[in-house]
């Protein structure tokens, strides 16, 4: 695979902003947010910039322990709703 393009400027959805929102709402013990948009060029939801549409979230948080997968994902999606509304098209969630 090729390398990702230069980072976005302006009002683009960023992994850093999503990271901050998840830290504030779920206080995770482990968190990694990756913008994988550049790997989805030409796919549905891609915006042509290589940023801000396709993300991977790897998270461990006390609030997620003991919940079924659907409930875990719902909590993560709820925390990221503003970013989805701004154009984040796909978020792959891995609960650690």
Q: How many residues does the chain have?
A: 96
- Token pair, residue 60, equals 């461990």
pLDDT value of residue 37: 80
Q: Which fold has domain 15-95?
A: GMP Synthetase; Chain A, domain 3 (3.30.300)
The pLDDT, as a whole number, for residue 1 is 47
Predicted pLDDT at 48: 53
The pTM of this model reads: 0.79
Task: State the CB neighbour count (10 A cutoff) for residue 16.
Answer: 11
What is the pLDDT tens value at each position of the chain, 96 positions in all? 455 554 545 567 899 999 999 999 999 999 999 998 866 566 655 555 555 678 999 999 999 999 999 999 999 999 999 999 988 888 999 999
């Amino acid at each position: 695979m090729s390398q990702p393009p230069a980072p976005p400027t302006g009002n683009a959805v960023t992994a850093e902003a999503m990271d901050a929102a998840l830290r504030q709402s779920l206080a995770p013990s482990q968190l990694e947010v990756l913008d994988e948009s550049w790997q989805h060029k030409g796919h549905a939801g891609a915006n042509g910039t290589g940023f801000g549409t396709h993300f991977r979230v790897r998270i461990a948080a006390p609030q997620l322990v003991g919940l079924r997968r659907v409930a875990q994902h719902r909590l993560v999606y709820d925390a990221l709703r503003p970013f989805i509304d701004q154009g984040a098209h796909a978020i792959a969630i891995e609960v650690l």
